Amino acid sequence: MVLALVLFLATYVGLLVFAKYRAYIALGSAAVFVVLGALGVLPAFDVFGAVDWNVIMMIAGTMGTVYFFIKSKMPALMADYIIEKMPNVKWVIIALSLFAGIVSAFVDNVATVLMVAPVALVVARKLDISPVPMIISIAISSNLQGAATLVGDTTSILLGKQANMNFADFFWYHGKPGLFFVVQIGAIVSALVLWVVFRNYNQKVRMDEKTVVSDYFPSVLLFGTILLLILASFIPQDQKPETTNGLICMGLMLIGLAREIIITRKPMEALRETLKEIDFFTLLLLTGLFIVIKGIEKAGVVDAIGKAFASISGGNLFLAYTLIVWASVLLSAFIDNIPYVATMLPVAAAIAEHLGVDPTVLYFGLLVGATLGGNLTPIGASANITGLGILRKEGHEVKNWDFMKISIPFTLAAVTSGYVLVWLFWGMGG
C-alpha cells in the first residue's frame, strides 16, 4: 500500500510540474502499476476494465460534434444576438458566462468551452476588446454548472455511476432538492461576483450585421446528443450497456462525419480534419489515470484514506463533510478534478461506511468542492486548461494572477453557498 501511494503521489507531482507531458506521465505510471501487478509486487487487476470507456467515448464524440457546430458558424450568430441585446461589455461577459453555464449543465464542460469560446472570440473581435476576461469567465462558469446534471460534466457522470443516479436524481433525490438547485444558487451568487469584478467594463457595444448560417444540421446534431443523453439516463443501469452515453456521442459524431464526407466527397480530408479536433492528449491522460486509480484502489489506499478521514472526524459527520468539501477545494485547485473525483468517490463511500451513515451528503459535498474548487487555478480543471489553450492559440499568454483575480472570488462565493446548502438539504437529519 505504501508503494502504491508513493507512486500515486509521484504521478500527481509530475502532472503538476510537467503539464506539457501529463498524458505521458499518466500512461507511464499506469504501465508501472500494470508491470508491478504482473510481477506480484502490487495487486493485479483487469487493465482494460479499469478504464471508463463510457467517459472516454463521451468526450471524444462530443468534441467531434462540436467541431461541426463551430464550422456551421452558429457560434458567430449566437455572438451577434448577445451583442444586440447587451448594453455594454460588462453585461456581454456576464451573459456569455451564464450562457456557457446553461449549456454546460447538459454538455461536458470541456466541450462547452470549445463551443462557446468561439462565440467570445467573435464578440471580442467585433468589439475590438481582449477576449481574455470572457474566456476565463466562460471556463469557470462551465465548471460550476457542470455539476448541475448527470450529463453536465465527467465528474457528474462518475457520481451517477457510483451512486446509481439517473438524470432526474440530480433535480430531486429521495424527496429532497438535488445538486441542480444547489448549483443554480451558486450560479446566481457567482454572477453577482462577476458583476463586481467587471463593474468598470462599461464600454458601449454595437453590431454591424448578423452572421448568416446556412447549415443547421450540426446544431440539430448537438441538440440530438443532449436529448438522447437525457433520455438514456432514465433507462435503469441494469437494462443498458455501460457505454450507452459514449455510444450515443460517438454515434452522432459519426453521423456528422458521414454527412461531411458525402457533402465534400473527400473522405480522407474530412476524417483528418475531424480527428484533428479531438483532444487525444486529454483522452490518453484520462486513460492512464483510470488505470492508476484502479491500482491504488486494489492496493487498499482508498480504503485507508477513508479510515483516516473517519478517524480525524472522530465519528462526526459534519466534520467529515467539512473536511471533504474544503480539502477538495484545495486539492482540486492543483490537480485535475476528473481523476480527483474518480479517486475520492470510493473514499467518500468508505468514510460513510466507517461512520455508519448515508454517503449522499459526502458525495454531494465532494462534487461541490472538487468541481467548483477546480476553478481556483488555471490547472485545476480541464475546462480551464482548454480555455487558456484557446487563448494561447490566439496569441494571448495568460498569467496565473490574471486568471486567479477572477477565479478566486468566483470560486469562494460558489463553494460557500454550495457547502451551506448541501448540508442544510442532506446533512441535517440526513
- Check residue 334 and give its pLDDT: 67
Contact status, residue 94 vs residue 410, Cβ threshold 8 Å: no
Q: Measure Cα distances from 256 to 224, 248, 299 in Å.
A: 12, 12, 43
Query: Per residue of the chain (430 residues), what is the pLDDT tens digit?
Result: 789 889 988 987 887 677 678 789 989 999 999 999 899 898 888 899 888 888 788 878 888 887 888 788 887 787 778 778 888 888 888 888 888 888 788 776 777 787 788 778 877 887 778 888 889 999 888 888 878 888 777 788 788 878 888 778 899 888 888 899 999 998 899 889 889 888 888 877 776 677 788 889 999 998 898 788 778 877 776 788 888 888 998 999 999 999 999 999 999 999 999 998 887 887 888 788 888 888 888 888 767 776 777 778 777 889 989 999 998 888 777 666 776 787 788 888 888 888 888 889 999 999 999 888 878 878 777 788 788 888 887 888 777 788 888 889 998 999 999 999 999 988 875 5
Q: Which amino acid is at 422?
A: V
At 250, list the grid cell.
Answer: 460517438
The backbone torsions φ and ψ at residue 173, rounded to the nearest 5 degrees and listed phi first, read: -125, 115
Contact status, residue 193 vs residue 97, Cβ threshold 8 Å: no
- Check residue 294 and give its pLDDT: 85
**Cα distance between residue 325 and residue 341, in whole Å:** 12
- Check residue 19 and give its pLDDT: 66
- Check residue 181 and give its pLDDT: 92
Coil, helix or strand at residue 173: strand
**Cα distance between residue 261 and residue 267, in whole Å:** 5
- Check residue 306 and give its pLDDT: 67
CA torsion sign, 98 to 101 to 103 to 106?
A: negative
**Cα distance between residue 277 and residue 111, in whole Å:** 11
- pTM of the predicted model, to two decimals? 0.72
- Check residue 267 and give its pLDDT: 92
Reference 195, options 99, 79, 91, 100; nearest CA is: 91
**Cα distance between residue 82 and residue 105, in whole Å:** 19
**Cα R_g (the chain), whole angstroms:** 21
**Cα distance between residue 153 and residue 332, in whole Å:** 15
- Check residue 221 and give its pLDDT: 92
The backbone torsions φ and ψ at residue 198, rounded to the nearest 5 degrees and listed phi first, read: -105, 25
Q: Which amino acid is at 275?
A: L
